[in-house]
Amino acid sequence: MIEFHLDGRSGVAPYMQLIHQVRHALRLGLLRMGDQLPKVKDVAAGLAINPNTVLKAYRELEYEGLVAARPGVGTFVTGTLDGGSLAAHGPLRRDLQRWLAKARRAGLDDESIQALFLSTFRSASEDVEGTGRWAG
């Protein structure tokens, strides 16, 4: 069983944070097929959040085919996100570490590195989507 937490200053809507945490746990293999998600009542009580927020997150995950609700029993993992990609993490991480070392040698500080990564990541994903929806 995983435990949710909320970052009040992240600016990300609470239901999205719950979705991210489930996806994250699926990617890292912390949640596997058949595992149960925390009960809505327990999440609401634990985090002092509206039960509708939890339901909304679970419904979205259900829509994505990652979980399924069994009425009166709970919500269970039915999908997986690792897709065998866990094996690819190692080499990619090493590439990234080499790139980070290069960025530091070029004189970039932490913030510049993060900004460069984020802006490149965004323009790359926009290219993939084909349209830049938001200006800026």
Q: State the minimum distance, in angstroms, from the CB of residue 81 to other proteins.
A: 25
Residues found near other proteins in the complex (CB under 8 A): 6, 8, 11, 13-14, 40-41, 44-53, 133-136
Cβ atoms of residues 113 and 103 within 8 Å? yes
Task: Please state, in angstroms and rounded to a whole number, the distance separating the CA atoms of residues 3 and 42.
Answer: 10
Output the smallest distance, CB 19 to other proteins, in A.
14
Beta strands in the chain (DSSP E): 67-70, 74-77
Nearer to other proteins, 50 or 97 (CB): 50
Q: How far is residue 43's CA from residue 57's CA, in Å, rounded to a whole number? A: 11
Instruction: Please state the closest distance from residue 24 (CB atom) to other proteins, in A.
Output: 20
CB-based contact 40:71 (threshold 8 Å): no
What is the rounded end-to-end Cα distance, in angstroms, of the chain?
40
Nearer to other proteins, 99 or 121 (CB): 121
Is the Cβ of residue 11 or residue 83 nearer to other proteins in the bound state?
11
State the nearest-atom distance from the C-beta of 52 to other proteins, in Å: 5
